[in-house]
Amino acid sequence: MGNAYEIYALRYATMSPRTPSMNFLQPDPHDSAAQDLDYFVWLIRGHGRDILVDTGFNAEEASARARKLTLNPVDALERFGVAASSIRDVIVTHLHYDHAGNLDRFPNARFHLQEREMAYATGRCMCNGLLRHPFSVEHVTQMVRHVYGERVTFYSGDGEVAPGVTVHRVGGHSDGLQVVRVDTARGPVVLASDAAHYYANLQRKSPFPIVYNVGDMAVGWETIERLAGHPDRFIPGHDPIVTEIYPRTSDKVDAWALHLPPTRSFAK
């Protein structure tokens, strides 16, 4: 493919233990255990550029939410050989705390965001504690500062960040959630972020419990399947299965190559 990129998933935290009701809006009553929740950022590399997808959370946010941070994502990137100051483009899939922290650590980056997400995170829905809970006012405020600094590119639906790297608003989990489609040598790979926390959310058509609009989430799954074109080419946002089926690529940081074929297929 003319615009083939490499994609790396960098894990920076894990949440355990979990129950089925924490992972599915309507869990299988026969399930008694549930998968851990892994936290990732994603690095897209190719054509002389590095594009970061999401920025994770830091130690302060981990403490505030009782999460265990293995390694700040900025430090994970550094161990992977990528300095934060060298990143020119950051795609923020949505503004929840675990995807939009550390926004002050990328001094030379332009941030790519759905305008609907900015409106949602600063609008009337944030008066509701349940909808507000996944957001951090510090993160949202930092993004507003980047807007005023003319460092944000907004999208309304579909958009192109670079040749072969496109964003697509799906909503559902958060009103302005976007997924990222990346051309690779094995075909288009879709970083689904929280449109599907786990493979099973999409495969079972069973939403993760944190959801703004279930209807949008269901349509979003169809969009992901269409954009990927094959069940092995969509990557969920938090599933530890990713670390089991993709090749590990570093002995310095938890990183896996998503542009290479998985060792297990989900094709029926």
**Sequence spans of domains, the chain:** 6-159+238-257
Backbone angles phi, psi at 37, to 5 degrees: -115, 115
- Identify the bridge partners of residue 114 per DSSP, sorted by sequence position: 155
What b/e readout covers 15-27, taking b as 16+ CB neighbours within 10 angstroms? beeeebebbbeeb
Q: Is the Cβ–Cβ distance between 20 and 34 less than 8 Å?
A: yes
Report the residue count for the chain: 268
With the CA atoms of 162, 238, 168 and 164 taken in that order, what torsion angle do they form, in degrees rounded to the nearest 10?
A: 30
First to last CA, the chain: 26
- Position 221 scores a pLDDT of 98
Q: Which CATH superfamily is domain 6-159+238-257 in?
A: Ribonuclease Z/Hydroxyacylglutathione hydrolase-like (3.60.15.10)
Task: Please choose, from the candidates 124, 204, 135, the residue with its C-alpha nearest in 3D space to the C-alpha of residue 174.
Answer: 135
What does each of the 268 residues of the chain score in pLDDT, given as a tens digit? 578 999 999 999 999 999 999 999 999 888 878 999 999 999 999 999 999 999 999 999 999 999 999 999 999 999 999 999 999 999 999 999 999 999 999 999 999 999 999 999 999 999 999 999 999 999 999 999 999 999 999 999 999 999 999 999 999 999 999 999 999 999 999 999 999 999 999 999 999 999 999 999 999 999 999 999 999 999 999 999 999 999 999 999 999 999 999 999 999 8
- Position 174 scores a pLDDT of 98
- Position 1 scores a pLDDT of 54
Round to whole Å and give the CA distance between 105 and 21.
35
- Position 2 scores a pLDDT of 72
Give the pair of three-digit tokens for residue 255: 């990183």
Flag whether the pTM goes above 0.85.
yes
- Residue 69 is classified by DSSP as B
- Position 32 scores a pLDDT of 78
Q: Classify residue 229 as left (phi > 0), alpha (psi -120 to 50) or beta.
A: left
Tally of CB atoms within 10 A around 148: 9
